[in-house]
Homo-oligomer: A and B are copies of this chain.
Amino acid sequence: MESQALTARVPTVSLFSEIERDLPRAEQYIEEALASQDPLLVEISTHLLKAGGKRLRPALVMLAAKVHRYDLDKILPAATAVELIHMATLVHDDVVDHSRLRRGRPTVNAKWSDGYSVLVGDYLFARAFQLLADTGDNRLVRVMADVVYQMSTGEIQQAATAFQVDQTVDDYYDRIAKKTALFLSESCRLGGLVSGAPEPRLEALTQYGYGLGMGFQIVDDILDFTATAPTLGKPIGSDLRAGILTLPVLHALTTSPRAATLREIVESRAVGDAEAQEASAIVRENGSLQYAYQTAHNFIQKAKDHLAQLPPGPAVTNLAVVADFVVDRAF
């Protein structure tokens, strides 16, 4: 569902400059969290980790913490837990979507099986909640349990509404809020919580993360039309093929002169290369990608507005850079 685009083009080290020197420690902490005496378990559970990825969520935990008080011993378990939860959801999503490719490598289900994906996903969730429980701060457990709860309901909504052309843009916002934006907002909250930030700061960080997450997912949905497969690390047009109607498509369905054709393509429930190309043309001609981009931009702007409620400094500046990156990567 979520692309890992541009990992190569925008080096992580410059994107997260304020915490750059601690990223290798976070990476090491994640790998150590997956240590086991069972070599197969290590191989499967670190398969996705070793494929790369932006590490956006742990970076948000770290940057959000840095806004208030940067105590790496408290930050690393939380940052690791969010990445493990992210990995668990990706491994499970690839079963749901029958995906064969992720971050340019075979998915766990492609390389091993759906069964291993289910079990390793559960293993990653459990490891994450062990780490969160060990912090002794119940709020972290509750926040991340909420994230997994909302994500699964969002994904179930997505599955239940596949190929349904009657869904509204509000349905779409509700869905991506649950499946993506909440995770980013709560990663920011987690960073605030481990740093002991007071409620107004937690709230500003969370609101920033929400706007960031909405913008992030909309751009992701645009990239499914515009990126190239090697950049994206997975096939193009996979959302539409899977019946997932994203903002560009929903916009075109209500505003394009060729909406009827687009509707037919979706309702055929058999979107091959030719159909995907035609749908893409309809969406592009209609300016629906620009519309979606503008919407993403608005969310990102709101995210940055919330940063103004935080004490200025390098961490907040870096969070603004992350927000800009999230929209700019579309082009």
Contact = CB atoms under 8 A, between A and B. Distances in A.
Contact of A133 (B89, B113, B130, B141): B141
A137 B96 CA distance: 34
A155 B126 CA distance: 14
B145 A126 contact: yes
* Chain A interface main SS type: helix
A122 interface: yes
A148 interface: yes
Contacts of A146: 126, 130
B132 A118 contact: no
Interface residues of A, number: 47
A119 interface: yes
- How many copies of this chain sit in the oligomeric assembly? 2
A123 interface: yes
B38 A156 contact: yes
A146 to B, nearest CB: 7
Given A96-B118, A97-B115, A122-B125, 5 more contacts: A41-B153, A116-B156, A129-B148, A133-B142, A137-B138
Q: Which 9 A-B pairs have the closest CB atoms?
A: A126-B148, A126-B149, A96-B115, A133-B142, A129-B145, A123-B152, A133-B141, A122-B152, A130-B145
30 contacts: A38-B153, A40-B156, A41-B153, A92-B119, A92-B122, A97-B115, A113-B159, A114-B114, A118-B118, A118-B121, A119-B155, A119-B159, A120-B152, A120-B156, A121-B122, A122-B151, A122-B152, A123-B152, A126-B146, A126-B149, A126-B152, A127-B145, A127-B149, A130-B145, A132-B141, A133-B138, A133-B139, A134-B142, A136-B138, A141-B141
Interface of A: 36, 38, 40-41, 44, 89, 92, 95-97, 113-116, 118-123, 125-127, 129-130, 132-134, 136-139, 141-142, 144-146, 148-149, 151-153, 155-157, 159-160
